[in-house]
Chains A and B, each alone.
Chain A
Amino acid sequence: MKLAELQSAFQAAVLAGDAKGAEILDAFAAPSRADRAEAFDVYVHGYRLRLAEYLEEDYPALRALIGETAFARLVSAYIAANPSRNRSARYYSCKMPEFLAAHPLRRANAWALGLARLERALADAFDAKDVAAKDLETLAAFAPEEWPLLVFEFHPSLSLIVVAADTTVVYAALVDEEKPTLPAPRAGEETIAVWRAEYEPLYRALEEDERLALNEALAGKSFGDICQLVAFQDETAPAAERLAQFLVNWFSEGLIVGVREAAE
């Protein structure tokens, strides 16, 4: 058998998952003590074991939420549907939120999909590109009359995810508490900002007006434009003050890496 055919057959047999019935066994010399199927099973079994470990490492809260049995079934299904296409184990589990979105668990558990998305976002933030965050002093370089034209650049680790209401509460309980008490599921959604400050992945649920402001700022809208939009959404609050407070928070949380004046 040519080398390419041999590798193709070997890989197909590992993916098929049954060492005993594999045709590739005929290509092997007799091992000294084990039989051929037992020896080949080191590869067949090891493949699933390694991929399962990657998933367990990346989704501890999801695992705690749904329990060992359901998680093991989910992992088996994921591995069967997703052979790895990346050289690094780091990226193997990336498709779990997408996979879960089409899985019965999504309906069976109100927080499963949201937790998967949050854990994925935290993992992505962990090793996102390094860019130094700016502090509030950066604004001192601009005169007050320039503020309406300011646009902000955000840390590359920042992502906003929209998930089921109380997902952050459930996540915190699952990772922090030995016997977590979870709230009763309720209708509605929450938007979570996930990012990395220095080397620490962080997350925070956003109030509706901050969600709106951050979304617009991420889209490159200027401070003045965002003020108008927030004022339009909530006429009872002074928009500029509220937005200024958001900005102070964004700077102190390491979210902003650049400030510039937009071209008029």
Chain B
Amino acid sequence: MQPTPRLGYGLGLRPVYYEEILNGAPPVDWFEVISENYMIPGGRPLAMLERFRAAYPIVLHGVSMSLASTDPLDLDYLAALKALAARIEPAWVSDHLCWTGVHGLNLHDLLPIPYTREALDHVVDRIGRIQDFLGRQLVVENASTYVAFAEADMTEWEFVAEMTRRADCLLLVDVNNIFVSSFNHGLDAAAYIDALPADRIAQFHMAGHTDNRTHRIDTHDQPICADVWKLYERARRRFPDVPAMIERDANFPPFAELLAELQHMRDIDTVVAEARGAA
């Protein structure tokens, strides 16, 4: 059973597209926003978010929860996030399987964790406490990684699957991140998709990345490449009803290009659904 509402096809809401969205009523079913950009006292960003919320479902997507950090939980941050969620009433709240800093610092990056029993126990405990504090199930995204730790007790997908089950959280499957991490570490991206627990998938992310030949970087500044679309098709075959969206954070194209990518996603889904119906 699909664990989140079937919202359809979304985009990351970015100020550069505000006007076109408000004036054009584009074929976008929902929007995802970066939570931290709205955890502020007031002003235009919050006013605009409330305006969009009146017209669309909104998902809060954080980048600084640091849920795998060994620092104590930042209760001020969580309280601010909870207050924002009470104000916006998002369809769900998500963040990343990563840490962003220790000793009170924040590196503003999604840093990798070792896939060890110790890390798993730590993350499961933290997600449980975060969910209790927020009073809602957390949706956790797999991050792109550029290094992997030599010490590991399991694969990333085994870690993710067990984390999800034990912490009773949901998953945001970033298909591009699976592709990027698999390329960087020589892993089988298809095996990753195939190992994910179908009843826990809350959302898909799609995005473009930068190809540096020896490694790929999750930059969200390029169109989605053919390999990632192919992986998406595989994911869609396994998880038919999952809401999906495209992230674009730099090198912004005309809005029509993002809508065209979203349409491509719909077209793939139509083909996958027809094939399922014919089977």
Which residues of A are at the interface with B, using a C-beta cutoff of 8 A?
1-4, 6-8, 10-11, 14-15, 26-29, 31-34, 36, 38-40, 42-43, 46-47, 50-51, 83-90, 92, 126-130, 156, 196, 199
Contact = CB atoms under 8 A, between A and B. Distances in A.
Contacts, number: 143
A154 to B, nearest CB: 15
**Residue from B44, B69, B101, B108 with most neighbouring chain A CB atoms (10 Å):** B108
Contact of A42 (B40, B45, B146, B151): B146
B44 A2 contact: no
B43 interface: yes
B107 A14 contact: yes
A128 B40 CA distance: 8
Contact of A3 (B39, B122, B146): B122
Interface string B48-73: 00000000000000001010011000
Interface stretch (B169-177, B182-190, B237-245, B254-262): B182-190
Interface of B: 36-37, 39-47, 64, 66, 69-70, 74, 77, 99-109, 111, 113-114, 116, 118-119, 122, 146-152, 183-186, 212-215, 217
A86 B101 CA distance: 10
A7 B102 CA distance: 7
13 contacts: A3-B70, A11-B105, A28-B149, A29-B148, A29-B150, A29-B152, A29-B185, A31-B185, A38-B214, A43-B111, A47-B109, A88-B36, A129-B41
B29 to A, nearest CB: 27
A40 B184 CA distance: 11
**Residue from A14, A84, A88 with most neighbouring chain B CB atoms (10 Å):** A88
A73 to B, nearest CB: 21
Nearest to A50: B108
A3 B117 CA distance: 10
A39 B44 contact: no
Contacts of B113: 3
Contact of B36 (A1, A7, A34, A90): A90
A92 B146 CA distance: 25
B146 A85 contact: no
A87 B47 CA distance: 22
Nearest to B66: A87
A7 B99 contact: yes
Nearest to A11: B102
A88 to B, nearest CB: 4
Contact of A47 (B108, B114, B122): B108
A155 B113 CA distance: 45
Contacts of B77: 87
Nearest to A130: B42
